[in-house]
Structures are given as C-alpha cells and as structure tokens.
Structure 1
Amino acid sequence: MSDMVSESRSNAAEYTVSEISGALKRTVEDVFGHVRVRGEISGYRGPHSSGHAYFALKDDRARLEAVIWKGVMGRLKFRPEEGMEVIATGKLTTYPGSSKYQIVIDNLEPAGAGALMALLEERKRRLSAEGIFDPARKQLLPYMPRVIGVVTSPTGAVIRDILHRIADRFPLHVVLWPVRVQGETAGAEVTAAVNGFNALPADGAIPRPDVVIVARGGGSLEDLWGFNDEGLARAVAASDIPVISAVGHETDWTLIDLAADVRAPTPTGAAEIAVPVKAELEATLASLAARLRACVSRGLDRRRQAARSAARAIPSPDQLLAVPRRRFDEATGRLGRALSVAVERKRARFDQARLSPATLSRRIEESRRLTDRDLLRAQAALRAIAGARRAEFRRASEQLPKCVRAALARKRHLFESAQARISLRPLQRAGQTARERLAHAGRRHEQAIAAALDRARARLTQADRLLSTLKLSEQAILERGYALVLDGAGELVRRAADVRTGEVLELRFADGAAHALATGDSAGRPAAKPAAKTKATASKPPGGQGSLF
C-alpha cells in the first residue's frame, strides 16, 4: 500500500489549493464574462460597515451569491430590499476563501414597473403598520407663517411658480434648500433638507421656517421614485415643522404624500395652502375692527346704565352697619361674666387634682406589690421549663445506645448479603465481552484505514486528470518543445543576462536532460576563444541573440 502511494506521488506534480482556486477563477471569468441574471434578493441585510453589500439571488431551484461594491452602491437608482425581484448585470467570478462562485454586480434594476409597484405597496404596508401615516400624528399648519422653507430644484419652474404665488397672496421670507428631485441621490438629498430645516436654531443667522414645502413637477413612477424613499417618509413624519407635500400632479402619489401633514395637488396649490390672501385679511381685519368698536360702545352704555340702577338700590352705610353694631355691643356685655365663670371652674378642677405625699406613697406601694407578684410567676415558669427539658434529655440518653446497636446490625447484614452475591463468573463474562469489543474495534480500524487510502487514491487520480486537462503540468509544457535551463547550482535560469561565459548549464527536456557550456556573454557577443561545439549546442536564434552553448 505504501509503495503504491509513493509511486503515485512521484508520477504526478503537486499543486496547492491556491493554484487550483486561481485556475478555476480564471476559467469562470474567461468563459462567462458579463451576464444578466434575474432572481429574487435573499439574505440582504443592508451595506456592510465597509460600504459593500453581500446577499444572494435565487429562484425556485438554485441560489447565486452576489456582492455590490461600495462605489456601485452609491450609483444605484434604488436600494435593494429583501424579497425584491431584480435584474442584475455583472461579472461571474469565484471566491477562493469559501470555494463559492458569485456575481459582482455592476448594475441593478427592478424586474419591470410591476416590481416597483409591488415594492412601493410593501413599503406602504410596512410604514402604515408602524403608524407613520397615522392622522393623529399630523400637525396643523400655522395660519400666518413668517418664514416658508421650500425643498426643490433651484432651476426648475416649480420654485418660480411657488415664489410668484406667494408674492401675489402674501409676500414673506422664503428659504430655498436646493436639491436634486430626480436620480439615485434625490431621496437622500430631500431627507437631508428636511432634517436640516428642523436642525436650524430659532434665533440663528438663517431663519427657521414655520412651514416646509417639498415640491416637484409631474413624471413617471421611475422619475418620482426618490420621493418613495423609506428614510424620507420617516424624516417627514418625525419633522417638528409642518410639511406640505406637492410632488407630481393630482393623480400622482408617493410615500411622502401619505407621511406629510398636508398634501397639495400641485406646487402652486401648496403655496396657496401655506399662506392666506393679504388683501382679504386686511378687509376682514377692518370689518372686525369696526364691529369691535361698536360692540365696545354698546357694552359701555349697558354697563353704565346697570351701575346707576345698582347705586339706587344700595342702602346707606348706617343701615348696613346697624345690626353688626348691636351684636358687638351684646357680646361685649357678656364677655366679663364669662371670664369670671371660666376662672372659677379652672380653680375647682385644679384643687381636685392636687397631689399629696400620701397619694404618692399609696401608688408606689401598689406598684411594688404587682412587681413582686409577676416576679414569683416568672420564677415558677422557668423552673417548670427546665425540669421538662431535663426529662427529655434523660430519655434521649437512655435510647441512644439501642439506636447505635440497631444501625450497626443493619450495616453488617447488608455487607454480608452483598458479599454473598459477588462471584467470579460475571467478571469472566465481562472480560470476554471486552476482548470481543477490542477485536471488533481492530477490524473497524483496519477497514477505516483502507477506505481512507481508497479515497485519497481517488482524489489523487482526479487531480492528475484535472492537471492533464488544463495543460498546467510541467511535463505537458516540456512535451510541447520547451526546455528548462538550470545553472550549476540547480537553480532555474530565467534571463540571458544571468548566464556567465564558461558556465556549465543543464538543459531539461521532456525525455531527459543534457549539459551545455555557455560560450557567449549576456549581450550576445561571442567569447575570444569559443569552445568546441557539442551535440547539445543550439544554433544562434534569430534576432541577434548570441548562442549560450
């Protein structure tokens, strides 16, 4: 068995795991190149801390590992989500660290508009379950804001329509936060704008808006996809400033429309909702001022007339104070007699409660008598308890030797019974069983060694076939007409510049080896006295290179 293994090792070249993995990686990348794969995202947990994303694409029968590098993640028009059906474009490769093949994705797109709508409905359902769209969370708009914040593109027609409508209705301060309203970064920029308006201090250099308008013109579902961002919906729902959503036309709807405090049909409608009409306010204010003046005048007249009527019905001060004055005089007359009676009662009560030495002596004697009685009772009780404890101890002392003798007798009986049951026959049977188990284990060990050698021999044969198929073995290269050049130390010579004149070289061919003497220098110039040619001397190669043999 050992001779066979040694012979196999000597006939086939050994390769490292890294060499095999590298060969497979090159084969997969050369054969497949870039591919488009359609499948369902599985195992997605968001970008790693490094910015890369790792997940898998699967269908009903297979699974393909996938990776998106950090630079590609920033260019995607939408964020991948668990269970989403997508079309991935990328390059197939292998990962030697885990012996898996995978696709490195360069572009990712949903599998049609139906997939976008399904993803949108899934986000809507999940956010609704969290209460993001709850009407109880929505804030009331201020009736007359002082500053309005607008989040939109600074170059589009939307901002001009909003500014024009606000100037016509109620001119006030408008703060624009410029963002991109279309593309892969639109959702993140609008989210940052909403959070930025909320982070402004109330007394800072930039005034804090009282209302925020998020506006964009109409478009397709893909154009408005940035406003369906889950992070944007959460930011709008958590905003301390009321938010008006004016994205798209009347028939368009996004997640921000459901999360905002008020939805406007158009950006112009958002400006009309945010501010009232100044002329109408002035007219209303003038009418209310006139009504207020008339009401105040009529109210003063009614109260003046009521005060005159009440003054005529009020009695004079002498009439009001006559009855209290009489009650005071009667109480003053009774006060002297009441004080004298109270003093007499207190003196009599004090005389009755006055202490004397005889009274104290009687009370002390009574207390001493009660104390002596309680002391006698306590002594009698203590003597009774001590006698009872002494009797119990005496009984226990008498029973102790009997209990000890009975326990020793039981132990002796158990020992004799166990000794009688012990024999040599069970020990002999146990030894025989152990010998049989040992023999069985030896046979299984030999079978396991033989099976392991068969598996190793099969793997070695398979590896040899793989090397022959890929044309990677040294022998296959030499069979194609190449030769290895070795110096006197047995080291491989890779360049002509490393050869010295007069050096003995070894040429290794497919069927054997030959020796040669170098007669020219590294630059191709022949030596002054070339040595005689041998059988292994080669002709001068084309291109001006001097002969080495």
Structure 2
Amino acid sequence: MSDFFTPTAPKRTNAAEFSVSELSNSLRRTVEDAYGNVRVRGEISGYRGPHSSGHAYFALKDERARLEAVVWKGTMGKIRFRPEEGMEVIATGKLTTYPGSSKYQIVIDQLEPAGAGALMALLEERKRKLAAEGLFDKERKRPLPFMPRVIGVVTSPTGAVIRDILHRLADRFPLHVMVWPVRVQGETAGPEAAAAVAGFNALPEGFARPDLLIVARGGGSLEDLWGFNDEDLARAVAGSRIPVISAVGHETDWTLIDLAADRRAPTPTGAAEMAVPVRADLEATLASYAARLQSALVRLVDRRRQAVRAAARALPVPDQLLALPRRRLDEASSRLERALSVCVAAKRARLTSARLSPAQLKRRADENRRNVARIGVALDRAQSRVHHDKARLARLAGQRLSLEPLRRRLADARRTEDRLSARILRASETAFASHGDALAMAGEDFARLAVQTVDDRRTRLAQADRLLSSLSYQNVLGRGFAVVRGEDGTPLTSATELEQTRAIEIQFADGRAHATTGWGALPSTRKKTAKPNAPQPEKEQGQLF
C-alpha cells in the first residue's frame, strides 16, 4: 500500500521542448517555404466586402474542403473586378499560418475569375433579376432631348474617351459639358459611376443641371467591363430622372447599363452624335424657313394690298350718298312753297266769293285753324325729316372720316412693300455678284479645258499622221515596186485584169508613166515550159513596151 502513494520519477527523453509560439512560427516558416507561390481555384465564401482597415477576409471552398483567404489593402486596389459571394475564382499567392487560431490561410497577391463562363452565369442571373423588376422595359425609357443645353459625362478624365466625346461635340454642336471623374476599371468602377449618376440627379435646378447624361468607357474584355455590370449602377441608371446614354465598349460589348439606359450607343463617339444635332444642318434648315417666311410675307402683303384696293374701289363717294336725300329735300321744299301758294290763292278766292256771316266766318275760321294745325303737323314732320336727313348726313361724313385709319394702314403697307422690295433688290444684287464670279471662274476653266482639248486633239492627229505615213503604200514604191492602174484609175491586182485592159498607168516612186498592152498571153501563161538550155525567145506581142 505504501508503494501506491509513492510518486513516480519522470522519464528522461532526448526530445527538445518548444513553446507554443516557437512551434507556431516553425510551422509557419515550413508552410511558407514549401508553398511560397501557389494557384488555388475555388468558390468565394463568406465575403462581406473590404474591412474598415481596407483588408478583405473570406474563404475559398470546393465540395470537400475550405481554405481561409486574406487580401491586403494594397492588393484590393489592384483587383480589376469586384469579388462576390459564390463567384468561382483563381487565387495566386502564398500559404501561411495564423498562430492566433492555429489555422492556415492563403495570402492572395492576384485574384481573377475562374473563367468567362462564371462571369457570364453571374451576369445572366443579374439580368434576369433586374428584368423581372421591370428595369429594362421599353415603356419606362424616355426620349432624348433634341437640343440639350448641358451634357453630363461620367467617365475617366484622363482617357481617350472624353477627348473623343468633346471633339465630336465641338464638331457637331458646341455646348457646355460637365465631367464627373470616375474610375472605369477595377472594383470601385461600378459604385463610383452609380454615385456620379445619383450626384448629377441631385444637383439643384439653378446649378446648370445637365439635360442629358453619357456614361462612357472604351472597349475591353469582360473583366475590364465588369464594373459596368454592377447591380447598383444599373438601378441608378434606370432610376435617373435625366435621360442616360450608355456608351460602354464597342459595338459587340454589352453590359447591364446598356439595357437599363434610355439609349445605347455603339461607341463613345456615337453617343456624342446621338446627343446633339448637326449645327450646320440646323442653320441650313432655319435659312430655308426664313426664306419661306419672307416669301410668304411678301405674298401676304400683296394680297392685303389688293384687298385694300378692292375695298377702296367698292366704297361709294360721299356726294353720291347724299345726292338722293338732298334731292328729296329739294323736292319737298319746292312742293311746300307751291302748296302754300295754291292754298293761299284758294282761300282768297273762297273768301272773296263767299258771303260773310259770323257763323260762316266762325266755321271758316275753325276750318282754317284745323288746316293750319294739319299744316303745322306736316311742317313738324318735314322739319323732323330734315333733321333726320341732316343727322344721317353727319353720320355719313363721320364714316368718311373713319376711312383715315384705313388710308394710314394702306400707307404703312406701301412702306413695308418698299422696304421688302429694297431688301429683295439687295439680295438679288448680291446673288448676281456671286453668280458673276462663279461665271468668270467657269469661263476660265472652260478656256483652260478648251486649250487642253485642242492640244490633245493636235497630238492625236500628229500620231495618226505618222501612223498613216508608216503604213502608206508610197513608202513601198521607194523600194522598187510600182502600182498598175487601168483606164479608169482602178489598181490592177491580177494578170487577168491586165489582159482585159488596153491602156494602163504605172506609178513609180518618182512619177507616173502610161503604157499599152498586147493581146497575146504573157510568158507566165504559156502551156509549155522552155527547156533550161534552150535559147530565150524574143518578146511577144503581149509583153509590155
């Protein structure tokens, strides 16, 4: 029992003792020496974006393992795309250990997508999501302003894109351009562009707010353009109150903002052409409209002048208007005088012929009073009619005075016609002067063309003359040949024709000679051939003399 409580002596060994830190550092050096540069393919897991310090911590995994990963702040700024949860990537770096948790991890120096297929799958997923929300519907797209006053451009201020846009705008229609500088590549390209679009929309109305936005970038690979497939940027473009033109990449490059924007341009230069019209075309159109307006104004003045003249011819003369009332008044006055004379004579006759009695006098006095009363009434009516005619005459005189404004308008129209005629005359003189200069230049060109044409024709004639001389039969005559012609001057080309002709003409190089022919056959036409040793016969009758 005593041996049970007796402590056992420790076993002695030759193994060295390590502290936890020493062992952890030794393991780290071993791992870093063995795996100093590795490439790992895996799926991003647990990514929450960069830490407040600028570093990013996440994991790479596959179906059977998991590897912790860290990207330092300096490396994060060099990554050309934005890492996302579930994205398959290829990480290049070195393995190391983290003593604080006894874990090994990879310190990433370079990170790139595992392939275009992964990015395309992610892009298609975003595209379906945004399309389901209605961000790509044609009904929500707004028309571009025909002539914007200010254009906002979201792009890099140091690239060739902004220079191409400014140069094209200056050629077509110079105007004010506001540039919001952003990065067009890398992880921060999408958020910066989204912030730029939102910033332009947040500008107050009195701050020369742009009427049109252009989001532009040059061409590149899918990874280079990945920042413009950012979901936040697509939502900012779709929700912009200012119309947006997307000009990212070239004709074959497509991004999400191309679908969300109000108009897509194949190139940044094409975006500038869509944004503004051609100033020269507008000036030509305005000049055409001004000419048409001036012509229409001339025709309108002519029609108004003719209408005024027609109205003046249709107005009656005041004397003609007053002639009939004046005649009626004269006739009434003459009738009144005659009626008074006749009435006085009749009354006097009745008074002298009738017997006087108080009753008769009273009756006649009453009758005369009634007659005087009727005459007074008639006189009042005549006076009222005279007053009415005088008032009508005054109104007609007033109407005659009312013609003065019409005459003044006619005078103004005539002065306007004179001014237009003077302007048309000056324009005609200017046109005639310009046409005279053009005609003088055309005359000089015609004279120069005529001299050149004459020289060309003279050269061609000389060449034809030399060719005719070289091909002429007269050159052959100089080598001993001759031309035989018949009585009618037709050249003889066979012996048969020579036998049928009596008189011939022979042309040599130095002149012509006449000769006659015989009827016998020529030596060449004999049927028998002379023997070689036989003497030559004398000339027969058919030979030439």
Give the TM-score, by structure 1 length: 0.47
Higher-Rg member (1/2): 2
